[in-house]
Amino acid sequence: MTQNLVLIQKEFEKWTLLPLIKRKTNKLEDKIYREDRLFIYLSNKIFDYPRLLIVLKKRIKIWLKLDNSETLLALVGYIYYIDNNFLKAENYFSKCVEKVPMNLDNWVDLAFSLYHQGFRKNKVAKNILFNLGLFIKKFKTLNCKKCNLSVLEKIYKDLKSKRKDYAHNWRKYVTD
């Protein structure tokens, strides 16, 4: 852990009274739905103290100059998500996926930020959630350096063409 991240953790705890713990990798084989609980606690705190969001948004720029760890990128994504700025949240959650593609929490956070952004991104988000394991595996096998909408759509189309799309199979079962 870098010295800058330690400073950010102390400052974050001073403002929110919440610990900023290093993000744990939640792998598919661990069979745990959510390893990171920061979003829940932070959203509750901001609901109780709405001005806290303004303070945190001002601190983001400073923090990002000091560190770009998965922990900080996820925190920034959470802050923008809570602020209903889903495009910026998507950007930071995509960076988390690029850093640690095996972390389920990164994929779920990315999917929920996509879900709120219109039909095209909503469709991709649903397919990530329905095919989480397949998306992670395909992203890893493609050896992608960037995680953007075109890459995600390519993965979905590839899964659909091979009939490995769970959502597609479910819809077929229901309509038959």
How high does pLDDT run on average in the chain?
A: 87
pLDDT of the residue at 26:
80
Residue whose entry in the numeric block shows the structure tokens 């991104």: 121
10 Å CB burial of residue 127 (0-12, 13-18, 19+) is buried
Structure confidence by residue, pLDDT tens digits, 7-37: 999 999 999 998 888 888 888 777 777 777 8
Phi, psi of 111 (to 5 degrees): -60, -45
pLDDT of the residue at 174:
45
The domain segmentation of the chain, as residue ranges, is 1-18+33-83, 101-176
pLDDT of the residue at 164:
57
pLDDT of the residue at 27:
82
pLDDT band (50, 70, 90) for residue 84: very high
